[in-house]
């Protein structure tokens, strides 16, 4: 019976959810604790890897998995995978492209609103018995009529642009390859060079992949270029932002607030300086996880593994990474 090894550690409730979706004829191997060492310990039994979370799949993992036939990514991000090592071993790699894009886009819009309306601060005060209305309200801002700058405009960024139409914002974007005029008109977006987008946008939202070129894409210089009082949103990858530089900009007030669902190190360390700052709304990289999307991610991942095992390659549901 072929075995599927989860590279992400799931707590009991989500693990039970995953187990119910395992295709007939397969055995699921779950981690007893998080981390690469546990993946390596169980890798010799694995015919397939269902790669999720931030656990690194590199040459050490591959060397420990002589039976490995294929790697299926639960989502789309590739920064936790050593693509060179995977190619050298000739292991097919597939991703679940676009399955949770809309969920991440919704989460992005929520963080924009939550940051502008100081939701974290207001929620904590109200739970604590403080009924403070005007004092906080006059420090909040509308989303209406703001310029929103999207850096990256793939599936998620495009959904964000579509959702923002109803808020009456002015949406601009920057990406390596500009869209066609028809695409820009359909999405209601306008192209700007990066520096101009940073200096004129009220809200800057990141929607690009983490690569060697985009690591620390938003650093001290880029933050200094931002319009005073701008808001930064990141539902992509934490390492796109120089967190020390962002901290300084938030503390000085040059950047008014941040809505962050991704961090350079996850889980967020207990002593991280972002904790306790009332101008940051933080969530635990949960943007792409809802009851609907998590089930769809796992179903499609398992389906693709089953199809691969049956050698029905022509009807695969996921996208192969070359």
Banded pLDDT at 246 (limits 50, 70, 90): very high
pLDDT of residue 283: 98
Catalytic-residue membership of 299: no
Q: Would you say residue 54 has pLDDT above 90?
A: no
Q: Do domains 3-99+289-320 and 101-282 have the same CATH topology?
A: yes
Pick the catalytic residue: 27, 37, 63, 266?
266
Question: Out of 73, 117, 207, 285, which one is annotated catalytic?
Answer: 285
Q: 298 by DSSP, 3-state: which?
A: helix
The full set of domain ranges for the chain reads 3-99+289-320, 101-282
What is the dotted CATH code of the domain comprising 3-99+289-320? 3.40.50.720
**What residues contact residue 38 under an 8 Å CB cut-off, 6+ apart?**
9, 31, 32
Q: Dump pLDDT digits (tens) for 200-237.
A: 999 999 999 999 999 999 999 999 999 999 999 999 99
Percent of the chain scored above 70 by pLDDT?
A: 97
Selected catalytic residue, list 102, 117, 174, 237: 237
Among 82, 21, 65, 46, which residue's Cα sits nearest to residue 291? 21
Question: Can you name the residues that pair with 255 across neighbouring β-strands?
Answer: 230
| Mean pLDDT of the region 301-314 | 82
What integer pLDDT is reported at residue 315 of this predicted model?
Answer: 45
Average pLDDT over residues 252-273: 96
For residue range 16-40, list pLDDT tens digits in order: 999 999 999 999 999 999 999 999 9
* Level-2 CATH architecture, domain 101-282: 3-Layer(aba) Sandwich (3.40)
Q: Provide the pLDDT for residue 76.
A: 79
Instruction: Determine if the pTM surpasses 0.85.
Output: yes
The CA-atom distances, in angstroms, between 312 and each of 51, 86, 247, 307 are: 21, 22, 50, 5
> Is 190 assigned a catalytic role?
no
Please, which residues bridge with residue 4 across strands?
28, 48
Check if 266 is active-site: yes
- pLDDT over 80 (residue 308): yes
Question: What percent of the chain has a predicted confidence (pLDDT) above 90?
Answer: 91
Checking if the pLDDT of 159 tops 60, the result is yes
d(CA 17, CA 300): 14
CB-based contact 282:268 (threshold 8 Å): yes
Question: Mean pLDDT over residues 165-188, rounded?
Answer: 97
């Amino acid at each position: 019976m072929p075995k599927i090894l989860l590279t992400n550690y799931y707590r009991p409730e989500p693990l039970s959810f995953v187990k119910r979706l395992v295709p007939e004829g397969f055995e699921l191997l779950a981690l007893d604790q998080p981390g690469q060492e546990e993946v390596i310990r169980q890798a010799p039994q694995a015919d397939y890897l269902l790669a999720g979370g931030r656990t690194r799949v590199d040459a050490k993992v591959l060397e420990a998995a002589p039976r490995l036939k294929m790697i299926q990514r639960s989502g789309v991000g590739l920064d936790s995978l050593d693509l060179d090592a995977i190619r050298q071993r000739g292991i097919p790699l597939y991703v679940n492209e676009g399955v949770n894009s809309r969920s991440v886009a919704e989460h992005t819009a929520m963080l924009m609103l939550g940051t502008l309306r100081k939701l974290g601060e207001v929620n904590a005060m109200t739970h604590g018995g403080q009924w403070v209305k005007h004092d906080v309200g006059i420090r909040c801002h509308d989303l209406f009529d703001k310029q929103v700058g999207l850096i990256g405009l793939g599936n998620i960024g495009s959904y964000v642009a579509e959702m923002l139409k109803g808020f009456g914002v002015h949406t601009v974007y920057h990406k390596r390859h500009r869209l066609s005029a028809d695409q820009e008109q359909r999405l209601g977006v306008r192209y700007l060079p990066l520096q101009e987008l940073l200096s004129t946008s009220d809200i800057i939202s990141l929607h690009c992949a983490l690569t060697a070129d985009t690591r620390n894409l938003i650093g001290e210089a880029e933050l200094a270029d931002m319009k005073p009082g701008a808001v930064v949103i990141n539902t992509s990858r934490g390492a796109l932002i120089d967190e020390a530089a962002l901290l300084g900009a938030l503390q000085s007030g040059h950047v008014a607030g941040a809505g962050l669902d991704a961090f350079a190190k996850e889980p967020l360390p207990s002593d991280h300086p972002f904790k306790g700052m009332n101008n940051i709304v933080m969530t635990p990289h949960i943007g792409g996880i809802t009851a609907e999307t998590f089930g769809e991610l796992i179903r499609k991942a398992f389906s693709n593994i089953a199809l691969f095992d049956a050698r029905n390659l022509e009807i695969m549901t996921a996208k192969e990474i070359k």
